[in-house]
């Protein structure tokens, strides 16, 4: 029993004698002590009819000079495939509760135009609808996550959409689908019953929404071997009362498989949010502090769910998360277009590490949003495309998808700013089906490199490789003029001896290591 405390000590050779001194930063990995499987769907994304996310970002149409497949940009397709996107949420967001799916099917020239009242009051021609979205998921090899309309829709409308999508029976809906060019039904994994119904989705109370959700859920059928994972609208950030209402009644709880939560890191609040690129260390620090709050938010909702669902059959679905800053100067305020810096990269690493650690309850998550909106992984401008620092973190962390969480224990120094302090390091580890261990770390300190000792207990590994993402400044970003300014590089800042890794991480960096037997 004395062995484990000694894991937190490092042996140094001083003047020919061994001296045992405490290590400041230490990540202990128990390679033979596994936890739950980390669902690949934790690494999901979100596409809303908002600004240039869909139009110009994903969809250019078949007549575009930009290379495309069925109207979907090829450069974006290839980039998302490389990132191994597991699922994609659509059509919103707030837009979902104003969207009527029949407007977006049939011949393009006959589709009804609508005004996007949530985002910029622009006219949208519905050229990207159900068939185009499902084609996109097929081309990406990812699962569909569709958000249904509770706010302004009807039970009949939502039930018919599910039937249109997934039924192989003969019915008016399946006949309509076939007339529109799709013979076989699609598979739809996730289906949300409304979005933010406490706010833009209807300003409902939890009790009122719960009763509506029960009714809607009753009529969402499982057709032709497709089993919907129904996601109930959960709370925003700290609203634990909403979760309590949805979970405490068995009749309500039985009508869904997942409960969504939304949380955005907004420095200084909605009215005073800062710039995505022009910020000081105080704003960096506050962003990190708010990112780390996701841990307590997940724990709080999970604790409530544990009381009513100790077998953890219900999943927590964090289907909107990320940083929210002011729009870029000169852009439409309703389009939420913002740049993406090294700060966002560290943000992504913090969140993904947190979700990994709570893989027993967090079953899916979606960063907001995928292209040209908020904390995007891709930005486009006409025929140009750039990959953001956040993209590179998702690409580096893809090794955790469907891997098994490893038991870890992290002790680290604080990152201090003024009279406030935060843990300076975020980390998680997993082992994949081939037995490879992956360790993901983030250094939250923008000024100081850190040395982390990492004892690996229970297994031995002969080969270690790694990648690092860092940048000269905390607000470094990729532009259309300099698209590769922030990108990963091979990482060699480590050594290994007697089962102990020593890792030297640059300031403001993200590192992923692979250990092979």
Whether residue 400 lies inside any domain: the answer is no
Whether residue 73 lies inside any domain: the answer is yes
Whether residue 341 lies inside any domain: the answer is no
Whether residue 439 lies inside any domain: the answer is yes
Residues 241-294: pLDDT tens digits?
999 999 999 999 999 999 999 999 999 888 889 999 999 999 999 999 999 999
d(CA 336, CA 325): 8
Whether residue 440 lies inside any domain: the answer is yes
Q: Which domain holds residue 361?
A: 38-111+124-261+270-319+352-380
CATH of the domain at 214: 3.20.20.80
Query: Model's pTM, two decimal places?
Result: 0.94
Same domain, 27 and 46: no
Q: What share of the chain is helix, strand, coil (3-state, %, to 5)?
A: 30, 30, 40
Same domain, 90 and 101: yes
Same domain, 282 and 309: yes
Residue 23's pLDDT is 53
How deeply is 9 buried, as exposed, middle or buried, from its count of CB atoms within 10 A (0-12, 13-18, 19+)? middle
Q: Which two tokens stand for residue 403?
A: 């891997």
Residue 357's pLDDT is 98
d(CA 97, CA 41): 23
Q: Report residue 329 CA to chain centroid gap.
A: 26
Whether residue 337 lies inside any domain: the answer is no
> Token pair 């159900």 is at which residue?
130
The residues assigned a catalytic role are 196, 320
Same domain, 301 and 169: yes
The continuous run of DSSP H or E covering 144 comes out as strand 143-148
Same domain, 61 and 203: yes
> Token pair 């589709």 is at which residue?
111
pLDDT mean by block of 10 residues, the chain; 517 residues: 37 34 80 95 98 97 96 98 98 96 96 92 95 98 98 98 97 98 98 97 97 98 97 96 97 98 94 93 98 98 98 98 96 96 98 98 98 98 98 98 97 96 98 97 97 93 96 98 98 93 97 97
Phi, psi of 135 (to 5 degrees): -65, -40
Handedness of CA 229, 233, 238, 242 (dihedral sign): negative
Residue 382's pLDDT is 96
Same domain, 30 and 42: no
Residue 504's pLDDT is 97
Whether residue 107 lies inside any domain: the answer is yes
Same domain, 145 and 89: yes
Phi, psi of 265 (to 5 degrees): -90, 110
Q: Which two tokens stand for residue 7?
A: 């894991």
Question: In angstroms, what is the C-alpha Rg of the chain?
Answer: 24
Same domain, 190 and 254: yes
Same domain, 415 and 357: no
d(CA 106, CA 251): 38
d(CA 471, CA 279): 15
Residue 5's pLDDT is 39
Number of domains making up the chain: 2
CATH of the domain at 485: 2.60.40.1180
Same domain, 415 and 370: no
- Cβ distance 471 to 389 under 8 Å? yes
Same domain, 87 and 30: no
Counting DSSP H helices and E strands in the chain, the numbers are 11, 28
Whether residue 391 lies inside any domain: the answer is no
Same domain, 60 and 100: yes
């Amino acid at each position: 029993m004395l062995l484990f405390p000694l894991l937190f000590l490092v042996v140094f050779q001083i003047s020919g004698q061994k001296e045992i001194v405490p290590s400041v930063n230490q990540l202990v990995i128990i390679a033979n002590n596994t936890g739950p499987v980390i669902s690949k769907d934790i690494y999901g994304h979100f596409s809303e009819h908002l600004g240039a996310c869909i139009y110009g970002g994903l969809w250019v149409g078949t007549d575009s000079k930009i290379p495309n497949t069925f109207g979907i940009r090829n450069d974006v397709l290839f980039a998302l495939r490389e990132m191994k996107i597991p699922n994609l949420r659509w059509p919103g967001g707030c837009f979902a509760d104003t969207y009527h799916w029949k407007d977006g099917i049939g011949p393009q020239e006959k589709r009804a135009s609508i005004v996007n009242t949530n985002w910029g009051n622009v006219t949208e021609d519905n050229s990207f609808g159900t068939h185009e979205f499902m084609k996109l998921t097929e081309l990406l090899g990812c699962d569909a996550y569709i958000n249904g309309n509770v706010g302004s829709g009807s039970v009949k409308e939502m039930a018919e959409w599910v039937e249109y999508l997934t039924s192989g029976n003969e019915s008016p809906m399946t006949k309509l689908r076939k007339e529109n060019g799709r013979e076989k039904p699609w598979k739809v994994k996730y289906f949300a019953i409304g979005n933010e119904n406490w706010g833009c989705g209807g300003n409902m109370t939890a009790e009122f929404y719960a009763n509506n959700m029960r009714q809607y859920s009753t009529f969402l059928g499982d057709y032709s071997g497709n089993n919907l994972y129904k996601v109930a609208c959960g709370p925003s950030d700290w609203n634990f009362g909403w979760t309590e209402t949805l979970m405490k009644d068995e009749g309500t709880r039985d009508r869904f498989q997942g409960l969504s939560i939304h949380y955005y890191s907004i420095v200084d609040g909605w009215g005073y949010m800062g710039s995505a690129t022009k910020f000081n260390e105080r704003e960096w620090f506050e962003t990190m502090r708010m990112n780390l709050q996701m841990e307590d938010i997940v724990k709080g909702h999970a604790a409530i769910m544990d009381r009513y669902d100790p077998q953890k059959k219900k999943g927590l679905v964090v289907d909107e998360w990320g940083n929210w800053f002011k729009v870029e100067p000169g852009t439409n305020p309703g389009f939420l277009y913002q740049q993406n810096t090294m700060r966002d990269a560290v943000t992504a690493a913090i969140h993904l590490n947190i979700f990994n650690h709570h893989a027993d309850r967090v079953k899916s998550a979606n960063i907001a949003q995928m292209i040209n909106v908020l904390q995007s992984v891709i930005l486009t401008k006409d025929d140009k495309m750039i990959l953001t620092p956040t993209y590179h973190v998702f690409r580096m962390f893809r090794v955790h998808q469907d891997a098994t969480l490893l038991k870890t224990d992290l002790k680290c120094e604080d990152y201090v700013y003024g009279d406030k302090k935060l843990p300076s390091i975020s980390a998680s580890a997993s082992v994949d089906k081939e037995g490879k261990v992956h360790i993901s770390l983030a250094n939250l300190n923008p000024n100081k490199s850190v040395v982390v000792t990492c004892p690996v207990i229970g297994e031995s590994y002969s080969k270690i490789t790694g990648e690092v993402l860092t940048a000269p400044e905390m607000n470094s970003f990729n532009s259309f003029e300099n698209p590769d300014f922030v990108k990963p590089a091979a990482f060699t800042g480590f050594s290994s001896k007697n089962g102990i890794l020593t890792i030297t991480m640059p300031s403001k960096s993200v590192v992923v290591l692979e250990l092979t037997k």
